[in-house]
Amino acid sequence: MSSELIPMRWPPQWRNSSALQRLSNTHINCLLIENPDSQHSVVEQAQRNGIRVIHETQLPGITVIKGEWPGAKLSRSDNRDTASSGPTGLPWVDSNGWKARLAAALNPKSTVWVDVTPRDPPPRSYPLCVADVAACGGAWIISLDDQLAAGIERGDSEPVETWKGLIESVEFFATHNYWSAYLRAAVVGVMSSFSGDNEASSGEVLNLLARTTEQYRIIPNESFSANSLSGLQAVLCPDSDPPGAGLRKPLLDFVQTGGLLITRSAWDGVPGTPANWDHPRYAGRVFGRGRIAVAKSDDAADPYLVANDTVALVSHRFDLLRFWDAGSVNAYLSEAPDGNRAIVQMVFYAREMNGKMATGGPENATVRVAGRYRTARLLTCDKQPATLGQPDDHGVGMLIDGDSVELHLPSLSHYAAVELGV
């Protein structure tokens, strides 16, 4: 988490200040209390404990965005879990990760908190809610549903276990907050105003691009700088209107030096010569050492198509992360500033078992990571770190293959990270 403050919405059922003991030895250091006047003893004790108490309207330096409860849409059918699917037939996933990343890109000096009110969530999904946002550098405002808060207050075993799992996740990310200094690796830059008529569609592109595990960088038009395109293979401009004149030159320079520009809208006088492409939705041009793909019509504007066409136009050849048997996963690769270490963070929303989707992480996922790494350490919220070396009797381990490594992961729950060393 980039924020030093770790926020929690204080449950109104916890009226006794003794409930604050639940926060002792945790990193939770900020409480949002709806009616502080009616909770004097809690407020005073919290402040004595060094916990900051704030009102929701007093959040300087913090951008709060509304989110939704994360997870794959699973429904009960014939007593078995089935998944509600998106246009691919793959399960639809709700995630706040892309929203947190977008908010951070639009408010670079601000800390991002995601406000999600739990409404009858599966108890085991609380840690997922933490990880979904924290893996993207934000913080979920910890909020308990009424039933859970009351159960914890009573000391019921299941709610207490849920609370412990939630705290484990919070502690994990607080302990590893140095990852926020790592630089996000990216293949594609998504460049948009992210506002007005483009807000909904460009946001959905970010959401669906994340589902492909393509590593991307968010580039708001307004904060474009000379470094915005560094290291990228491609830039996607999903807006209905072309970027302004000031952005045109750096984009064309990017193409001339070998990059790919994917744009929804035709520019006046797109340079280059027609390319020998066969794409149903994009016309190709060659310009310098690079290519320009211009959408032929608005049929290409569907965010699902935009996301998946982008991945194919860029090519899986440039995948930084490639998964097998990972179920529904969002994944993020970032690198230490000194280039000696990298971290792969994986948030698992659902797994597939015998053709059916279920909540939880995969049994035996494999991930290929591009790069010359020699060491790997598996980190999870609920277990001790484990070195991934030569595959063990169960096949769990790491295979080094030239310019990439293949990580054979054990059975996992909602989140895992692998720290790689060169």
Partner 1 sequence: MTGMNHGRREALKKMGYAAIAVGVYWKAPSLLASHAPTAPVAVGTCKTYNPAELLSTLGRMFDQLGGLKRIVSGKTVAIKINLTGAPTYRVGYLPLGDTHYTNPQVITAAVHLIGKAGAKRIRILESSWSSAYPLEETLLQADFDPRQIESAAPNVEFENTNFLGKGKKYSRLVVPFGGYVFPAYELNHSYSDCDVFVSMAKMKEHETTGITLSMKNCFGITPCSIYGASAGIDDPDENPKGGRGLLHSGTRQPSKIAPAELDTTTPRQGGYRVPRAVADLIAARPVDLQIVDGVKSLSGGEGPWAPGIAPVQPGLLVAGTNPVATDTVCMKLMGLDPMADRGTHPFETSDNMLRLAEEAGIGTRNLNRIEVIGARINDVALNYTDQRRVSLMRHGSLPTRGIFSALT
* Length reported for the chain: 422
Interface with partner 1, residue 319, by CB under 8 A: yes
Q: Of 314, 283, 309, which Cα lies nearest the Cα of 296?
A: 283
How many residues sit close enough to partner 1 to count as binding (CB under 8 A)?
30
Q: Which H helix or E strand runs over 398?
A: strand 397-401
Tokens of 185: 């690796």
Tell me the closest approach of the beta carbon of residue 354 to partner 1, in angstroms: 7
The correct pick among 59, 283, 396, 422 for binding partner 1 (CB under 8 A) is 396
The correct pick among 76, 119, 249, 317 for binding partner 1 (CB under 8 A) is 317
The correct pick among 315, 339, 389, 421 for binding partner 1 (CB under 8 A) is 315
Tell me the C-alpha distance between 274 and 280, whole Å.
15
Stretch that binds partner 1, among 59-67, 82-90, 231-239, 248-256 (CB under 8 A): 82-90
Interface with partner 1, residue 87, by CB under 8 A: yes
Interface with partner 1, residue 258, by CB under 8 A: no
**DSSP E strand stretches across 193-340:** 216-220, 234-237, 260-263, 273-274, 282-287, 290-295, 321-324, 328-335
Q: For 205, how many CA atoms within 13 A lie in the half-sphere containing its CB?
A: 32
Interface with partner 1, residue 363, by CB under 8 A: yes
Tell me the closest approach of the beta carbon of residue 18 to partner 1, in angstroms: 45
Exposure letters 55-70 (e unless 16+ CB within 10 A, then b): eeeebeebbbbebebb
Interface with partner 1, residue 276, by CB under 8 A: no
Tell me the closest approach of the beta carbon of residue 347 to partner 1, in angstroms: 17
Interface with partner 1, residue 323, by CB under 8 A: yes
Q: Is 36 helix (H, G, I), strand (E, B) or coil?
A: helix
Q: 110: which strand partners? A: none
Interface with partner 1, residue 411, by CB under 8 A: yes
Q: What is the dihedral of CA 239, 243, 249, 252, to 10 degrees?
A: 20
The correct pick among 146, 312, 374, 421 for binding partner 1 (CB under 8 A) is 312
Stretch that binds partner 1, among 30-38, 94-102, 164-172, 304-312 (CB under 8 A): 304-312
Q: Are 415 and 337 in contact (CB under 8 A)?
A: no
Interface with partner 1, residue 155, by CB under 8 A: no
Tell me the closest approach of the beta carbon of residue 318 to partner 1, in angstroms: 9
Q: Are 165 and 127 in contact (CB under 8 A)?
A: yes
Tell me the closest approach of the beta carbon of residue 276 to partner 1, in angstroms: 11
In this structure, how many other beta carbons lie within 10 angstroms of the beta carbon of residue 156? Answer: 14
**Could you give the maximum distance between any two Cα atoms of the chain, in Å?**
73
Stretch that binds partner 1, among 13-21, 81-89, 190-198, 256-264 (CB under 8 A): 81-89
Q: Which H helix or E strand runs over 399?
A: strand 397-401
Tell me the C-alpha distance between 358 and 87, whole Å.
19
The correct pick among 50, 89, 246, 337 for binding partner 1 (CB under 8 A) is 89
Tell me the closest approach of the beta carbon of residue 407 to partner 1, in angstroms: 10
Instruction: Specify the residue, 99 or 264, whose C-beta has the smaller distance to partner 1.
Output: 264
Tell me the C-alpha distance between 345 and 82, whole Å.
26
Tokens of 284: 């190709």
Tell me the closest approach of the beta carbon of residue 78 to partner 1, in angstroms: 18
Instruction: Specify the residue, 48 or 372, whose C-beta has the smaller distance to partner 1.
Output: 372
Instruction: Specify the residue, 37 or 393, whose C-beta has the smaller distance to partner 1.
Output: 393
Interface with partner 1, residue 354, by CB under 8 A: yes
Contacts with 12 (C-beta within 8 Å, 6 or more apart), sequence order = 34, 35
Q: Are 210 and 336 in contact (CB under 8 A)?
A: no
Tell me the closest approach of the beta carbon of residue 373 to partner 1, in angstroms: 17
Interface with partner 1, residue 278, by CB under 8 A: yes
Interface with partner 1, residue 322, by CB under 8 A: yes
Tell me the closest approach of the beta carbon of residue 383 to partner 1, in angstroms: 18
The residue ranges that bind partner 1 (CB under 8 A) are: 87-89, 278, 280, 305, 308, 312, 315-317, 319, 322-326, 354-355, 363-364, 366, 368, 391, 393-396, 408, 411
